[in-house]
Structure 1
Amino acid sequence: MGMHDDQLHIDEDMARRLIISQFPQWRDERMQHVATDGTVNAIVRIGTGLAARFPLRAADPSTVNDELTREAAAMRELSTYCPFPSTVPVAVGAPGDGYPLPWSVQTWLPGDVATPEGLEHSDRFAHDLATLIRSLQAADTRGRTFTGAGHGGNLQDSDGWMEVCFRQSEGLLPVDRLRDLWAAFRLLPAADSTVMTHGDLIPGNLLVDGERLVGVLDTGGFGPADPALDLVAAWHMLDQRRRNVLRGELAIGELEWRRGAAWAFQQAMGLVWYYRETNPGMSALGRSTLARVLNDFPSAPPAPSASSTL
């Protein structure tokens, strides 16, 4: 069963034919589909150092090509600021052999994919997350500001999507409590500035070795956004004590901390119901994140003023 109504078919044999026909220098490399909880791309590993990424959802090929070009530039930019290894672009493939979209090849990084609970009790991992977020925020925005809608911009832009999520989550989640919490979150004052952010710090985009962060994936979304956006990692991967460790290291004030929780909440609400049958790992991530947010905010908090501090 596909995760999306418009999901494209791409299997290992088709990917191998596309790779070999367009990049014959990799003909003798072993190619293997990589099973992940990812929802955007099918991943095929090429040898030991590369991975091909095939977009899963139908789209206009020229739009996808433009997006891959934008993502490649963002990946290169992030790599200059990231204190941990990150994926970088290698090549772009063309449609063919029944697959209708451009696709990309990136570097492959060693490490284990992080999980929602695997390092939730680790001070060391919380420290590494703080180091990552601080380093990305220090990048020069070069005058750029957030230009999209929703995730990373204005919380109220997500009202329509959240209403869909609440309706679809009846019987799955404590919807009345969640509605009340969103009603408070959506009134939080917006950020008065933007910084550079990864944009999607979920477990599947981080690699670990033991308790250490050793790799950062899916870096094509690097761009200017709400400074609280990357704080979603706290609720996606840390217990309450380690959330406080991360917050303390970054010296996060109350308003920004609550916006971080709001962005984690907004992201998680779309995971539980949408991926319930087709991607249990992503659905479970949504549940664990919402549980942590509800633990921190058991009742809808009053909106703080923009001058609120720790």
Structure 2
Amino acid sequence: MSGAHDLGPVPTRLTVDVEVVRRLIAEQFPRWSDLPVHPVADGGWDNFTFHLGPQMSVRLPSAAEYALAVEKEHRWLPRLAAQLPLPVPTPLGRGEPGGGYPFAWSVHRWIDGEPATADRTTGGTVDPVRFGLDLADFLTAVQRVDPTGGPPPGVHNWFRGGTLRTYDATAQEALDALEGRIDTALAREVWATALGARWNHVPLWFHGDVAGGNLLLRDGHLAAVIDFGTCGVGDPSCDLAGAWTLLDAAGRKAFRDRLGVDDGTWARGRGWALWKTLATCAAAVDRDDEASAGAHRVLDAILEDHEADRGSSR
């Protein structure tokens, strides 16, 4: 898995409202047409998500690029679900374009839970060490699923599981924009270390987007994992990014030890966290808002973790 790819421009997103969803359900799943439809708060970027009655959700890709995941999820989620220790989305119906909406879409069983925000997982309502261990156990189970025939990195998942060099241009542009605002010399070192840590192992399953909104909590524990739109088979280091975005130092150590990853995989995981954090910081230059502050906190954690590793290897 070598070589870079042109990610192209950010996809042009559609707008989908409740009336579109009601029309699609009535046309394609009339048995559910009497159920109420309500938008989900913070329903995600790749998909618009709606409640369908009390026990189902409707997910409509917001752009053509995101719609590539629909067939993949319907094919692979049932196989993955049978082998994972936590609930994951169960496809109940595959919708087709219609009613003014141009892409394939899905009906899934609804899973209750609160998103695992950093405020919760770094000493709020959640024990960060326990959360780190539970997340590691889930990802270990994902990696143990037979990868035969699984989808390799590609446009369908923005090349998650492939080489970090895909994102080199984005990272370098962000570093240039942040010159004088962060320790760019250290950040460049972190990025170079990640690029230099090559993946030479058997491809494994990965989730591809281990972000707080996709990790659901109940009673202070990791209870479910949703949104497998970027899943695939390849280098699972992309799934380590949550170690810096969601965990404190103690939780991160527990997570790393439980997974038992080698230093190269950890360095690549740090790279996956870094490129997106740099892009967020660069986009928020001269802004003093929650998103900017959060990105800088993550950046600090990444740089400190790299320095600690560098110090321990001397």
TM-score using structure 1 length = 0.83
1:201 deviates by 0.9
Question: How many angstroms apart in 1 are the aligned matches of 2:93 and 2:290?
Answer: 30
Matched residue, 1:208:
217
Instruction: Check the 8 A contact 2:204/2:235 in 1, yes or no.
Output: yes
Structure 2: where are the runs of 5+ without partners? 1-9
RMSD: 3.0
Matched residue, 1:46:
52
Question: How many angstroms apart in 2 are the aligned matches of 1:24 and 1:169?
Answer: 53
Deviations, residues 275-295 of structure 1 (Å, cap 9, x unaligned): 89xxx8776664443232122
1:134 deviates by 1.2
Matched residue, 2:253:
244
Instruction: Check the 8 A contact 2:193/2:267 in 1, yes or no.
Output: no
The 5-angstrom pairing of residues 245-284 of structure 1 reads 245-273=254-282
Query: How many residue pairs are counted as aligned between the two chains?
Result: 294
Question: How many angstroms apart in 2 are the aligned matches of 1:298 and 1:146?
Answer: 33
Identity %: 30
Instruction: Check the 8 A contact 1:44/1:53 in 2, yes or no.
Output: yes
1:137 deviates by 1.2
**Residue 125 (structure 1) aligned with residue 158 (structure 2):** no
**Residue 68 (structure 1) aligned with residue 70 (structure 2):** yes
Question: How many angstroms apart in 2 are the aligned matches of 1:168 and 1:128?
Answer: 37
**Residue 108 (structure 1) aligned with residue 143 (structure 2):** no
Question: How many angstroms apart in 2 are the aligned matches of 1:232 and 1:46?
Answer: 32
| Structure 1 residues 184 and 211: alpha-carbon distance in aligned structure 2, compared to 1, 3 A threshold | same
SS of the equivalent of 1:297 reads helix
The 5-angstrom pairing of residues 74-85 of structure 1 reads 74-85=76-87
| Structure 1 residues 166 and 11: alpha-carbon distance in aligned structure 2, compared to 1, 3 A threshold | farther
The 5-angstrom pairing of residues 112-261 of structure 1 reads 112-121=114-123, 122=127, 123-142=129-148, 146-148=152-154, 150-167=159-176, 174-261=183-270
2:305 is matched with which residue: 296, 300, 303? Answer: 296
TM-score using structure 2 length = 0.82
| Structure 1 residues 227 and 56: alpha-carbon distance in aligned structure 2, compared to 1, 3 A threshold | closer
Q: Which moved more, 1:10-19 or 1:168-177?
A: 168-177
Matched residue, 1:307:
none
1:144 deviates by 5.4
**Residue 7 (structure 1) aligned with residue 13 (structure 2):** yes
Instruction: Check the 8 A contact 1:32/1:46 in 2, yes or no.
Output: yes
Deviations, residues 61-95 of structure 1 (Å, cap 9, x unaligned): xx94x642122112122202210011011112222
